[in-house]
Every structure is written in structure tokens, then in C-alpha cells.
Structure 1
């Protein structure tokens, strides 16, 4: 009986550690998204891009097809949102954060831009991966 109780306590302890790790991962990911909203709303597109993996392997899939690379993605944002009137104020609505495997999550949500040139709304699914101890977006699909 003592062995069963010990086993049950161990399983309970381990499951609470996994849950708390996942909860912390989700908090860390949400903090990055919060920083992105702030940077975007200041028309700081480079600051917004700090949430992305600074690599030629970054993938962004939008209405113009697939863009590969951090620099090309930033250039597209600068071309599409040349002034603060175009970038406006960004608000995310996060609908789901799910673990893919150890060190990777997908996030599904909505973006809402309040702008002087007309509001814009859409949906996204992004993949976060922990790289060198930091959460980074490695793939983004936005529409």
C-alpha cells in the first residue's frame, strides 16, 4: 500500500511540474505577443520583429505567398505599413495556445488594427520554438 501511495504521489508531483512548465511557457509566449503589440502600435516594426526568429529560415505565409527570412519579412512589413497611419494600433485576441512538443507551441488568434486609413482585421497561426533559451516565432500564417 505504501508503494502505491508513493507512486501516486510521484505521478501527481510530476504532472503538476509539467503543468506548471507549460503554464510558464504560455505566459512567456503571451509576454512576447504583448511586446509585439506595443512595438507595432508605436510603428516600431523592427521592435515588433524581435519576436521572430532572426534567420533566413523564418517562414511567413500571407496573401502574397510564402516569404522566407527575417529581413524579407521585415521589408514586406515596411512596404505594407509605411507610416503610423498604416500600422495603427494592434490588438491581438489569442484563441488557443497548444503544445506541439517539447520546446514548440502553436498559437491561433486574431489581429485587429485600428488605423486612420481604415481598420484591418484577420486571423493568424504562428509557431513558437525555443531557440537558445528564447521563444521565437519560426513560422507565421496570417490572413
Structure 2
């Protein structure tokens, strides 16, 4: 009986610990996405990009295929969204935020731009990785 009770207490403790351990990364990831939305809606692509891994291995996959590297991704954003009319107002709807491992999280969501140049929307999958104690997007597949 004592062994069963000890097992139950340990099982519950591990489960609660896992929930709290996940709450930190999820909260940080949600904050990053909120900051990105605010930056986009101010028309500040450079600040929007702060959520991405500033590395040549960053992968962005869009309608034109894969783009590698932070600088190439930034340049594509600036080319495709040259002014506030094209940028419009961004809204993210998070469909799923879940851990894949201790250092890797996936976000599935919907993006919408309300803009003078015509509204557009699509879906995205992001992979966040904790690098040097900071969560960053290492892969973005948006369509």
C-alpha cells in the first residue's frame, strides 16, 4: 500500500512538473508572437524579424519555395511588403502550440492580413528552438 501511494504521489508530481515546465516555454513563445504582431502592425519589419533565428540556417518556406538565411528572409519580407498598405494589419490565430522536445516547440496557426492592397490569409507552421537561452523561430512554413 505504501509503495502504491508513493508511486501515485510521484506520478502526480512528475505530471504537474511537466505542465509547469511547459508553461514557461509556451508563455515565452506566445509573447514572441504577440511582439511580432505588434511590430508588423507598426510597419516595423526589422522588429518583426527579431523573433527569428539570426542565422544562415534559418529556413522559411513560402509559395515560392524555400529561402535560407535570416538576411534573405528579411530581404524577401521587405520586397514583398514595401509599405504599410501592403503590410496592413496582421492577426495570428494560434491553433496549436506544443512541445516536440525540451528544446523544440511547434506552433500551428492561421495568419490574416487586413490591408488596402487586398486582404490575404493562410496557415503557418513554426518551429521554435531554444538557442543560448532564447526561443527563436528556426523554421517557418507559411502558405
Q: TM-score, normalised by structure 1?
A: 0.97
Q: Where in structure 2 are there 5+ consecutive unaligned residues?
A: none
Tell me how far 1:64 sits from its aligned partner.
1.1
Aligned twin of 1:61: 61
Say which SS state the counterpart of residue 53 (structure 2) adopts.
coil
Say which SS state the counterpart of residue 95 (structure 1) adopts.
strand
CA–CA distance in structure 2, aligned partners of residues 7 and 86 of structure 1: 58
Aligned twin of 2:108: 108
CA–CA distance in structure 2, aligned partners of residues 142 and 50 of structure 1: 17
CA–CA distance in structure 1, aligned partners of residues 14 and 101 of structure 2: 17
Aligned twin of 2:22: 22
Q: What do residues 71-113 of structure 1 show as CA deviations (whole Å, max 9, x unaligned)?
A: 0000000000000111011000000112111111111110010
Task: Tell me whether 1:52 sits opposite 2:52 in the alignment.
Answer: yes
CA–CA distance in structure 1, aligned partners of residues 56 and 98 of structure 2: 25
Q: TM-score, normalised by structure 2?
A: 0.97
Cα RMSD for the two superposed structures: 0.9
Aligned length: 143
Tell me how far 1:7 sits from its aligned partner.
2.2
